[in-house]
Structures are given as structure tokens and as C-alpha cells.
Structure 1
Amino acid sequence: MIIITGAAGFIGSNLAKKLNDIGRNDLILVDDINHPLKKDNIDQIKHYELIGINDFLSWIKKSKNQKISSVFHLGACSDTLERNYKYLTQNNVVYSQKIWQYCIEADAEFIYASSAATYGDGMNGFSDRHDLITNLKPLNEYGQSKQDFDEWALSQNNAPNFWAGLKYFNVYGPGEAHKGRMASVVCHFLDQLKTSSEIKLFDSSHGVGPGEQKRDFVYIDDAIDMTLFMMNKKFKSGIYNIGSGTTSTFNELAEIFLEEKLAKAIKYIPFPKDLILNYQAYTCADMDKLRSIGYNIESTSLASGIKSYINQK
């Protein structure tokens, strides 16, 4: 059986659906269905059991006889604007440490969500090499909590039979609408266009011109392919980037909407002062490590990903 925490969330629900597609219905889903859109995400997923987040740790204590092969730990506080570091540590570090220990005892793989937020402003690069991890300086408490767990995992002598920390870059696609302000900029564009023909972009910031902030956008299907690539593999445990390895400006993203006649104009708005110190103006995943272990599927282009996203809305 396979456990997925955060199973009704964006990446978790898409992962569960993909597992169903390849014949895996022996899923133990862990999440709180506290939003109607999360219920929509999970409604059609075939599974063995659904467990609430607060019940999961007690469940694993009583489930010694369950044969679990893999745990995908995708549940966490993912709010990059959350400032309560104690809360983030409890949810993103301590909770993860307990599941790590469970995987050791259950002889199960442990594959968890780290984040590109750990890379901060990018001054120390975007490499997932282990010797560079401790150099990273996240810009916010969320990123720091993810960094803390990555460093902790790398320091452990007692570990699951295989583990992987996946640094997801800017993932977009169906199933993210419940995330609200934490949804991708693509999702926000689509929401804006429900009531306006204009796309709003940030004005100049961080030394770049209006709309010239850059992101490594990765379509959800690609992110899921890379995540599943980790399952039942015999390569070395560690930290891996999950991205496209390319970068696009917000202007380039908006131009796709204009070309597809989904929007008529771009409007630049002042950059929020409260975000200046915590904002990543540039991200681009170094994908060399994942390629070196055999992942060779070509990434979905941004234009193709947006078209696929729109067709599934």
C-alpha cells in the first residue's frame, strides 16, 4: 500500500489520480477535507482508507501489520506568508520527523515535499547538490522550515531504505484553486479574467522592469511524472529539484494569454511593499542531478501547459 499525506491538495490529489491511472488503488489518503474544492479534488479517487491529519500519527502507531511500500509526504503548511515559525516548525519539521521514523520502522520509502523557497533570492544558485544545501538562505519562515527539515534529513545516519526530498518549483495546473493566494500566478490570471479582460502584473522590482520577474514554471503533469519516478528506484537517496530547468518572465506568460485571445491587455500594478524582502524575483531549477539518474522526459512547454490547464477548467 501507498500513503499520501496532503492527498486532497494540489500535488497530492494529482499524484493519487495518476496512481489510480496505473492501477494502484491501494492508497491510504491523509488529509482534512475542509474546503469544497479539496472535496472535489479527492471525490473520484479510488482508495483504501481516508484519514484526518490529526489522526494519522495515532493511526501509524496502531498499523504495525499494514504493509506500506511508499509514503509520499506532501502535506504541510505551505503558506509562504505565514510568520509563526513555531507553528511552521511543528507542522513542517516535527511532523515530518515522526513520519520519517515511521518509514524506518515500516521499511517504507519516504518521499517528501521540500520547496524551491529554500533557495531564497538565488544568490547561492539553484543546485540541489548536498554540499551546497547549507549555504541556502530562504527569504521567509516557510522556506526556512523546509530548509530545516532538508538539513536534518541529510544529517541522519538512521534513515528509511530510500528517501527523497523534492524541491518543487512553480507548479501550476488543475487542482490548485483551493490554495487561494498561494495558488500559481497562472491560476490567478485565470481568476482575474473571469471579471476583467486585463491581466495584472507587478511593476518594476528587484532591479528588473515591469513584468520581468522570472519563474521556473512546471506543469503539474510533469511534476507528477518526476515524483513517481522516485518510487521503487535504486538510486541514491537525497534532495532533488522538481522543475523545468527553464525560466519565463511574467510578461512572457501574459503574452500567451493575449495570443490565445484570453486577455486583451496587461496592466502593471505597484509592487507590494510588504513583499519586497520576502519575494523571489527569479527561480530556475538546476535539473542536472535528476537527469543524471535517468529522468529524460521532455518538459511541457508553458504554452502547452496553459492550454491543457484551460481545457480542464
Structure 2
Amino acid sequence: MENERPMVEISHLCKRFQIGKKELSAVFDVTLTLAKGECLGIVGESGCGKSTLIRMIIGALRPTSGQVRVDGVDYWSLKRSEQKAFRRKIQMVFQEPISSFSPRMKIGSYLMEPRINYDRLSRKEAEREAEALLEMVGLPDTFMKRYPHELSGGQLQRVAIARALAVRPALLVCDEATGALDVSIQNQIVQLLVKLQREQEAACLFIGHDLALVSNVSQRIAVMYLGRIVEILKSESLERKAAHPYTQALLGAVLDVYCDQEAELPLLKGEPPSPLELPKGCAFADRCPRAHENCYEMRPELREIASGHFAACHRLSARM
């Protein structure tokens, strides 16, 4: 429904760190919404602020300013006693699945514990639920008695997905969830994630640096550069309507591999400025083939340039 409250509301979110006598702005004025059942991809180069943004969204890092509301609730407004119950609303799937599993626990224990701890199921009921979860991700129930090191990377990531979905979260966060897997396995895991996330109607944030992969998973894409969102658009419009020079450069880097069409898109040159010494204007100006004088003097605001399409670029704003 159009008037339905967003499942995730991020308002003017900022995070600054003190580094000696200087201040590092890791995330600056990020505003996003995410509907129930929607998947939003967040892409950008390493160091763009994706991980810091995610840590604030899941409640692992307190924002310097701004607010994150999941299902209408701000985690940091809750009492400590209320925060545990809230955490079930947000579940994560990590890049390296083995790092989030203890080698001493069997797979069955990982899938049973959330239902025992949160839903107070009996051990027998939790065991049946765990077997159903394994079936849901395409694994036999014999895996209940296996240890993490006995599974392949792809199998363990399937278990990680099952564990994340066990408590039916409101928000599923996938942080480079296929980055550590072989390319041959990546597509299987992505398709499984998409299928299960939509079946459970969980909102999903899919974080990555591979623009082509993220666009296949998500309905919309938010592009980050040095802590700021520079463009938001529908994934289906990416190849035809990417408007920000940075998004076009990312797209140009993968176009020959993933697309048949030919297009003259800019390629990224040079290095981004230091996050400790950001320019007063557009942070992308020194690498942008279209930069003009105004780009070096004023920071562009994220504006709607078409229905549901936002970009932070003086050139694009001037066309409105």
C-alpha cells in the first residue's frame, strides 16, 4: 500500500570519528527509506562508508547525528532491557560465513538456538523447525549433526541464510554476502537469497562493490562515494538512466563483461581525496570529466531528477 509506513527509515545519518586533531566524516547526511519486502542495494568502492552505515543501521555503532528506525523503532531510544528483543528484527549474512560460526557447535545448534531463546520453543519443536530451515535452503537434515568445518563455503553460507531467517526478521542485511564464494556458487546463493527474502517479505539491504551483481538482487540501488549517497535509482533503469558521473564510471567498468550494448561511459581515473581533508565542493570533482567551477566551490545536494531517481550533481540539477 502506498501509505504503508516504510520498514526502514534512515534520516540525515552522520558518523564522524576523531583522528588525532582531525575529524573523519565516514558517513554524511544519508537519508533512505526501505519498504517491506523491498531489497535495496548499496554499492561503492572500498572505504566509501558502506560498512560504517550498516553498523549504525544494525545498532552496533551509535550515530553522531541522525536517526535509524526499523519497523518504526529507533534502537538507541530503547532501554538496554528492550534492545535484545529488538535485535531479532535485524539479522545479518556476512561475507565470510566461517567467521560467524564457532567450530565447537554443530549446525543444528545454530538453527535451534534462536527459536529456543526468542520463541521459547521446546528442544523437540526447535529441532523440527531447524530441519525445515535446512530443507528451505536446499540442504539435507543430516547436516544438523555436522560441524562448520565439514561444510563447503557455499553450504555454510546457505546455513548462515537459514539462521538469519529463522526468527523471521523485519530487515535482512547482506554484507558482501557472496564475496568470499566462487563465481560458480555466487549466483546460486544470490537466487536463494532473493527467493527467501521475498517469500518472508523481509526488507533487505544488499551491500557490495560489484554493481552488476547488486543490481540483479535489488529493486533499487544507492551509490555511495566518500560517505555520501550520490545517486539512487531503480535497478532496472541502471544501464539506461544512470546519471551521476561516478555511477556511470562504475557501470563502465563492468559494461563490457555483463552487457551486450556499447556505450561511451567514463572510466575512473585518479584517487579519491583523503576523507580527513575533503574539499568544500563535490568530493568527486577531481575525478569527474564534467566538472566545472561550481563543482569545486559548492557541495551538490541529493535531488530528485526524475520520478524516484535522485542524484547529487550540479550538472544534473541545472537541467531541472
Larger Rg: 2
Could you tell me the TM-score, scaled by structure 2's length?
0.31
**Going by fraction, where is strand more abundant, 1 or 2?**
2
Q: TM-score, normalised by structure 1?
A: 0.32
